[in-house]
Structure 1
Amino acid sequence: MKKIIKLSMITLAFSMLTACATSGDVENIQSQIDGLNAKVSQASSDAASAQSAAADAAARAQAAEDAANRAAQYAQDANSKLDSGFRRSMMK
């Protein structure tokens, strides 16, 4: 019985040693993690840049809309002045 227990302990220890990851496997996984971290950092930087560009585009669009509204108002004012001048000339 003791012989079987010793043999099973040796077999168990050997199987545990062979099942563990080698240092090369750990280094490979670590290099993959480092590569992924670099890609995540780059993606985060790209996202921040895109967000900044979107905010700039929104500000420019708002400025263009404001300018278009002012131009429409000026056109309406000019049209009103011309119309009233035309009506006055027709009254004479």
Structure 2
Amino acid sequence: MLETLGSFTGAHLPFREAEYGPFDARGTSDTDRQRLIELLSPSPIDLDDLVRESMLPAAIATCLLLELELAGKIIRHAQGAISLSA
């Protein structure tokens, strides 16, 4: 597909493999999890802002947020906002 798009612009877009392997959730720590919880409050915060403020890789932050959501500790709101559950 990238080659096809490149033909529209006249540029050649070489395909590059990712420089990292598949995500492994075992690399997360309680410190990372605690950092996310400390940034959350009952007021919703945008997911992108939360990831940026946490300074965690997006893959790790997303995995940790899923764990917190399954544990009932956070609530997902419309348009990607997240807050602590009451």
| TM-score after normalising by structure 2 | 0.19
- The structure in which a higher percent of residues are helix is 1
Structure with the greater alpha carbon radius of gyration: 1
- The structure in which a higher percent of residues are strand is 2
Structure scoring higher RCO (CA < 8 A, sep ≥ 6) equals 2
